[in-house]
Amino acid sequence: MSDFQVKVAPKKYDAIIVGSGAGGGMAAYVLAKAGLKVCLLEAGPDYDPAKNSAQLKNPWDSPRRGASSKYRPFGEFDGCYWGWEIDGEPYTQTKGSDHFEWWRARMVGGRTNHWGRISLRFGPRDFKRHSIDGLGDDWPIGYEDVKPYYDKIDRLIGVYGTNEGLENDPDGIFLPPPKPRLHELMFKKAATGINIPVIPSRLSILTKKINDERGACFYCGQCNRSCKVYGDFSSSSVLVKPAVLTGNVDLITGAMAREVLTDKEGKAVGISYVNKSDKQEYQINAKVVILGASTCETARLLLNSKSQKHPNGLANSSGVVGHYLHDSTGAALGGVIPNLMGRKRYNEDGVGGMHVYTPWWLDNKKLDFPRGYHIEYWGGMSQPSYGFGMGTQGLNGKFQVNGKTKEEGGYGSSLKEDVRFFYGATVGMGGRGEAVPRFENHCKIDPDVVDKYGIPVLKFDCKNSEYEIKQAKHMKETFREIMHEMGAVITWGDQDDASNNYGLSNPGNIIHEAGTVRMGNDKKTSALNAWGQAHDCKNLFCVDGSVFTSQADKNITWTILALSMRTSEYILDQLQKQNL
């Protein structure tokens, strides 16, 4: 290949960041605002919700009517490019493992363009789980180390909620929450009646304007499409855009990182990447290298960055990179509320997510599994899209429609009546719990497979343990009780039992994966120190979910943001002291 060459950019940056999601976006924001010259690499195309969101589209605006496709597994209006599979970028599984489902976003802002905006702080106990139940490891930091950063991002980004004084669900600086919807009041009444708390959710959605760059929420219920007025948090709109506006950031899209480059002493010097549009190889040098490519992609980059000084992959003398991979647990169940059938119509969109939720409320000492879960509730008169009205034959024989008993199935005006009658009566709930990170659960480089850019791919070997399975069993029991209290009829999720792990999701499926480049005080059992800095390479940092020692039953984005801000401020401090 005589025409093969690597183009080295002449400019040397203060920092190069891989990935523009929550972690990378926050690092770019903090460093650029401080005046550093930053290169931000993103594997996907540019994306600005103001221009590219499908917000306020009607189902009939697309011939697909909002159905999912391989490009958008959560529906074609969803704000995330790609998902479980990407053309030309395979990943593989070890035989006998649970199938790890790996979600990958390829776009500026990453997954934050479509996420549920559930913005929960970890509590004091979440950082010290080993001390409590003897499983896994404690973080090298505690709530008191992260609290100032949670406070800062609450103010910078905006989150609604209420201060409830719960020890492990810390208070924050909250905007007012929206009032519960009708089915949420029903959930609340039923659950609190059996001593399960239901409190306002905590979502990063602006129920009030917080600055002139962003508008307030206008209650279309479509946060998953990303918001054209920036009324919710996406890294693209809230972090990357203002970072680029400082003039200190060169954002390079379509840049698929191949390797972290190191010098003879083992220090990081930059990143090599493939430009997806011209297919050429490029190299960019910087004083500091920051990885926010996502939990597994960051591990893949490190494992693919082998050198004489780092024969095991970069930052991996401990051998933990790729290990301790864990996702939230998940199980769900749903049905219909007869009292909601034939209901009065009004605009019930609300914010793009639940208005109330249940934080973990029990004591594990009295249970047969460790760690907890929170409950998310769904329902309401939402916008119909592909799939709406399907399976009506499963309902219209079971419930009287406007006082009439009908034969299951049917057609015609009678079927139209049924669809109208059942609309808005469907509800569901899902548990999101804490898995115990274990060394055995890992991803590693597949020795036999490369992607279309020639980059060796990940091979997953992950299995749920008894801990997670028992948690799912408990979720199902709880959900049944709540449904019963509410007078609801369960239509799905009730059949799960030991034969299918009580409906427990495959690891990866909940898309909260973390732990592959974990932090710790002991360099023999962790890859990063308490600042997210590699033990083996002082100018290399990780700022995504990979750094998590354990992940609580809280969605991890708010903590990724807080830790990325903390790491970025540490980088500024260390650069000033010339320690990097």
| 324-353 positions binding another protein, by CB under 8 A | 339, 343-351
Please tell me whether residue 414 adopts helix, strand or coil conformation: helix
Determine, following the binding rule CB under 8 A, whether residue 53 of this chain makes contact with another protein. Answer: yes
* Residue 301: CB minimum distance to another protein, A: 23
Closest by Cα among 131, 136, 18 to 518: 136
* Residue 347: CB minimum distance to another protein, A: 4
* Residue 388: CB minimum distance to another protein, A: 5
Q: Which residues contact 149 (CB under 8 A, 6 or more apart)?
A: 561, 562, 563, 565, 566
Angle at 296 between CA 292 and CA 299, to 5 degrees: 75
Report CA dihedral (104, 109, 111, 116) to the nearest 10 degrees: 180
Determine, following the binding rule CB under 8 A, whether residue 384 of this chain makes contact with another protein. Answer: yes
Determine, following the binding rule CB under 8 A, whether residue 180 of this chain makes contact with another protein. Answer: yes
Q: Give CA 404 to chain center in angstroms.
A: 45
Tokens of 103: 């979600």
* Residue 219: CB minimum distance to another protein, A: 4
Candidates 176-184, 326-334, 460-468, 492-500 — which segment interacts with another protein by CB under 8 A? 176-184
Binder to another protein among 26, 156, 157, 186 (CB under 8 A)? Answer: 186
Determine, following the binding rule CB under 8 A, whether residue 409 of this chain makes contact with another protein. Answer: yes
Closest by Cα among 168, 166, 127, 171 to 150: 171
Binding mask 133-172 for another protein (x = CB under 8 A): ---------------------------x-x----------
Tokens of 305: 């960055």
Candidates 22-30, 175-183, 500-508, 518-526 — which segment interacts with another protein by CB under 8 A? 175-183
Report the distance separating Cα 232 and Cα 227, nearest Å. Answer: 6
Determine, following the binding rule CB under 8 A, whether residue 405 of this chain makes contact with another protein. Answer: no
Residue 184 or 297: the one with the smaller Cβ distance to another protein is 184
DSSP annotation of 6 reads E
Per CB under 8 A, which of residues 63..102 are in contact with another protein?
63-67, 69, 71-72, 76-77, 81, 87
User: At 571, which amino acid appears?
Assistant: I
Residue 201 or 567: the one with the smaller Cβ distance to another protein is 201
Specify the residue for token string 């005006």: 413
Residues in the chain: 580
Per CB under 8 A, which of residues 188..247 are in contact with another protein?
189, 200, 207-208, 218-222, 225
Angle at 401 between CA 395 and CA 405, to 5 degrees: 85
Question: Strands 356-358 and 373-379: what pairing?
Answer: antiparallel
Per CB under 8 A, which of residues 484..503 are in contact with another protein?
none
Binder to another protein among 92, 94, 283, 382 (CB under 8 A)? Answer: 382
Report the distance separating Cα 124 and Cα 499, nearest Å. Answer: 36
Binder to another protein among 31, 223, 325, 381 (CB under 8 A)? Answer: 381
Tokens of 366: 């009295």
Binder to another protein among 8, 11, 58, 211 (CB under 8 A)? Answer: 58
Per CB under 8 A, which of residues 273..292 are in contact with another protein?
none
SS (H, E, C) 374-427: EEEEEECCCCCCCCCCCCHHHCCCCCCECCECCCCCCCHHHHHHHHHHHCCCEE
Binder to another protein among 60, 265, 311, 578 (CB under 8 A)? Answer: 60
Binder to another protein among 177, 292, 313, 545 (CB under 8 A)? Answer: 177
Binder to another protein among 165, 247, 403, 412 (CB under 8 A)? Answer: 412
Determine, following the binding rule CB under 8 A, whether residue 386 of this chain makes contact with another protein. Answer: yes
* Residue 298: CB minimum distance to another protein, A: 23
Return the bridge partners of 13, or none. 286
User: At 465, which amino acid appears?
Assistant: S
